[in-house]
Amino acid sequence: MEHYDSPVSGISVEEALVSFGLTRQESEVYRALLSEGTMNGYEIAKRVGVSRSNAYTSLASLVEKGAAWLADGSPARYVPVSPAEFCAGRIAALQRAGDVLIAALPDRKPDPGTFVTIRGRERSLDRLRAMIGDARERLYIAAPWRELRAMAGELAGREDIRLVILTDGDAIESGEVSLSLPRAEIHRVGEWTVELRAIADSSHVLTGDLSGPGEPTCLYSDQKNFADLFKNALRNEISLSRAGNGEANHGL
């Protein structure tokens, strides 16, 4: 199997194809089609190193999932769909399915005061994105700019709330942060003790590390006492940042 380098850190091309609904064998067949162009089952079997029966099964599945077309004529030949069109089709299908589920399923029953350990970098960032979307009045985030850059569009779209960002001094000094988030209140982090800290509406907290040794893990909670302690700690850090820049102090 050929190796494909991914331009996106944290996930390989193989893992990305599987996340879009392809099995690992279907992923190999799809990549072979993209590399070689239109082929039949026999050619695919030789190219990938599987039986002809498995090759045709994977090709039929790729057609069903929108990654290939069946060309007219005999013998049957298969044409790869471009990655952009395939991904767009899968995302649209998931969006339609998501709309059905959101409309049909009951919302999560409120259960305030919980502590939840979220394992995995992407799951932690998913929770942060949800907090960005759900915040009603204010959102404070302390995180390296390398993590926030990918969701700058989502953050910039929250012009209806107070948005405070604490991030790297280099990114602030370069002007990249203020250009990406022109309406945000921006502060420099003096020293990273925990890589990600966020609090929405003084009640929802997410904190933890996204990199380093071991599996990235974050803690999420809406427990009031914990949120109050977290808010006070973040308020102190903002005050220190403001004092270092000669700014007036304001409440969190």
Q: How many CA atoms lie within 13 A of 222 on its CB side?
A: 8
pLDDT at residue 139 greater than cutoff 80: yes
**32-46, 76-90, 102-116, 165-179: range with lowest mean pLDDT:** 102-116
Higher pLDDT, 252 or 185: 185
d(CA 137, CA 179): 22
Return all residues near 4 (Cβ < 8 A) that are at least 6 apart: 12, 13, 14, 31
Residue 137: pLDDT band with limits 50, 70, 90:
very high
d(CA 22, CA 67): 9
For position 234, what pLDDT does the model report?
Answer: 87
pLDDT average, residue stretch 125-153: 94
pLDDT average, residue stretch 108-135: 89
d(CA 236, CA 207): 16
For position 10, what pLDDT does the model report?
Answer: 58
User: What is the residue range of 150's domain?
Assistant: 115-244
CA–centroid distance for 80 within its chain: 27
Classify residue 209: in a domain, yes or no: yes
Number of domains in the chain: 2
Classify residue 250: in a domain, yes or no: no
pLDDT at residue 74 greater than cutoff 50: yes
For position 245, what pLDDT does the model report?
Answer: 63
Residue labelled with tokens 């790869």:
80
Residue 3: pLDDT band with limits 50, 70, 90:
very low
- The answer to whether residues 93 and 122 belong to one domain is no
Is-contact 129 154, C-beta < 8 A? yes
Nearest CA-CA partner of 211 in 120, 116, 123: 120
Domain termination site, one of 68, 101, 134: 101
Other Cβ atoms closer than 10 A to 56 = 19
In terms of DSSP bridges, do strands 162-167 and 138-142 run parallel, antiparallel, or are they unpaired?
A: parallel
Return all residues near 162 (Cβ < 8 A) that are at least 6 apart: 137, 138, 139, 185
CATH code where residue 59 lies: 1.10.10.10
- The answer to whether residues 124 and 214 belong to one domain is yes
**183-187, 192-196, 197-201: range with lowest mean pLDDT:** 192-196
Higher pLDDT, 211 or 4: 211
CATH code where residue 196 lies: 3.30.870.10
- The answer to whether residues 141 and 51 belong to one domain is no
- The answer to whether residues 124 and 240 belong to one domain is yes
pLDDT average, residue stretch 107-130: 87
Is-contact 218 205, C-beta < 8 A? no
Domain termination site, one of 70, 101, 132: 101
In the numeric block, which tokens belong to residue 120? Answer: 């995995």
pLDDT at residue 186 greater than cutoff 80: yes
* Mean pLDDT (the chain, rounded): 89
Q: Calculate what percentage of the chain has a pLDDT beyond 90.
A: 69
d(CA 86, CA 81): 6
**C-alpha radius of gyration, the chain, whole number:** 24
pLDDT at residue 1 greater than cutoff 80: no
Instruction: Supply the pTM of this predicted model.
Output: 0.69
